Amino acid sequence: MNGNQIEGLVGMVLVLGILVLMALPSVLGVLRDRRIDRQIREAHEDRGERETPMAQKAQKSSSRSTVPSTATWYADGRRSKKFVSS
């Protein structure tokens, strides 16, 4: 091998190394997302086996009060005003 071939080989290895370094974070992110999705799916399956179906459960009402928000109160007040043209 002469000097030009060695220089070309070193350049090619450097370019491939930089490409791997740039692609590595995205590949690791995809693998992590797939692992998390699998864990979530398994948790849902385990939870579904332990609990009774939703149709058999009695639906409970919320214990929170049903006080309207400030935005609702303001909108109701604005709608109730009558505009009279002179």
Rounded-to-integer distance, Cα 48 and Cα 20, Å = 41
Total structural domains within the chain: 1
For the ranges 43-47, 48-52, 74-78, which has the lowest average pLDDT?
Answer: 74-78
Q: State the residue range of the domain holding 31.
A: 23-48
67 domain-assigned: no
72 domain-assigned: no
75 domain-assigned: no
55 domain-assigned: no
For the ranges 19-23, 43-47, 76-80, which has the lowest average pLDDT?
Answer: 76-80
| Size (the chain), residues | 86
The pLDDT assigned to 75 comes to 62
65 domain-assigned: no
- Distance in Å from the first CA to the final CA of the chain: 99
Helices of type H across 1-86: 3-50, 70-80
40 domain-assigned: yes
44 domain-assigned: yes
Q: For residue 43, how many other CB atoms are within 10 A of its CB?
A: 10
